[in-house]
Amino acid sequence: MTSSAATKDSENVANTAGNTENTATNSKKDPYVIELIDEFLEHLEIEKGRSLNTIRNYRLYLEKFYELASEDMQDEMRASNIDSELLRKYRLRLNRVSDEKGHRLTPATQGYYLIALRGFLKYLAKREIQSLDPSLIELPKSHRPQVTFLHIDELQAILDSIDLDTQTGLRDRAIFELLFSSGLRVSELCNLNIKDVNLERREFVVRGKGSKDRPIFIDESAASRVKDYLCTRHDTLPALFLNNSKNPGTPDNSGDYRRLTPRSIERIIEKYARLAGITKHVTPHTLRHSFATDLLMNGADLRSVQSLLGHSNISTTQIYTHITDTHLKDVHEKFHSETD
């Protein structure tokens, strides 16, 4: 090999090494979004203590963002590619997305996707990774959600439709009374273990959204119904409420293979609402709404209801105030002075 050829080969090797180094440097300064999403989700789990359900939802929202926003890109999306124009295209495409039934996403649902993206961008800003300013993301305006709740006579009709001569009936009655008495979210109810619930003191603590603990109080009737159900149990499984299916799943060391799921409880609620002739759509959350509405109509203050529901923001609790506005006429007639 001649000296000139050797020199040329050396230059090629040096150029290749330089290009590799530049690529690595660029990748470090301007990382790929798909890698950053994984790091952000790990951050939520480890540093923020978010639940696995929250992380699962955030992954869904951010992967949909990546899918829609990168449609026009030939190369993988980097953090610096997220700008105002890309956000505009993403929001337009998100607004046109349809589910399996052909329904478009509601403004409220689109808001969840944008909240996840905004959180992701705040994470990038904290790490000083150049990308879109998270403050530029505006959430879509959505109407105040319609609150569906049960009047006490409707709830009683449902309770009366439950056959208490079976273990399943005793379980289902306990579920209804516990939800209405406590205002628990369905996920919180499913996660309850027998040891968690103090039926004598009728109070216990649950870990709700954002891994925040809050006290739960139940009435004597709910405590009694739970005791009745537990008296029929002859197992050592930890879950408070079990699936009575003949095919409950594969046994595991955790003992959770027979734990009722949120979907199972939704079906139970819907079943008895139909049996009782209730025409409105009744879900586990309807009972949570009924709990809050009952408290407010009987004179509880909004701040106390906020604490009992585990709302971090009072504005979330204020969705119930228009329901209790029917009392305003009575207040006006009782306390307002009339002129002669």
Question: pLDDT tens, 94-120?
Answer: 999 987 778 898 888 999 999 999 999
Return the percentage of the chain with pLDDT > 70, whole number.
84
- Give the per-residue pLDDT at 23: 45
- Give the per-residue pLDDT at 326: 62
- Whether the model clears a pTM of 0.85, i.e. scores above it, the answer is no
- Between 226 and 4, where is the model more confident? 226
Question: Using an 8 Å Cβ cutoff, are 61 and 117 in contact?
Answer: yes
- Give the per-residue pLDDT at 18: 47
Q: For 152-330, CATH number?
A: 1.10.443.10
Domain ranges of the chain: 25-136, 152-330
Catalytic (active-site) positions = 185, 209, 285, 288, 311, 320
State which CATH number among 1.10.10, 1.10.150, 1.25.40, 3.40.190 fits the domain covering 25-136.
Answer: 1.10.150
Q: 180: Cβ–Cβ under 8 A, 6 or more apart, which residues? A: 155, 222, 287, 290, 291, 294
Residue 317 pLDDT exceeds 90: no
- Give the per-residue pLDDT at 13: 47
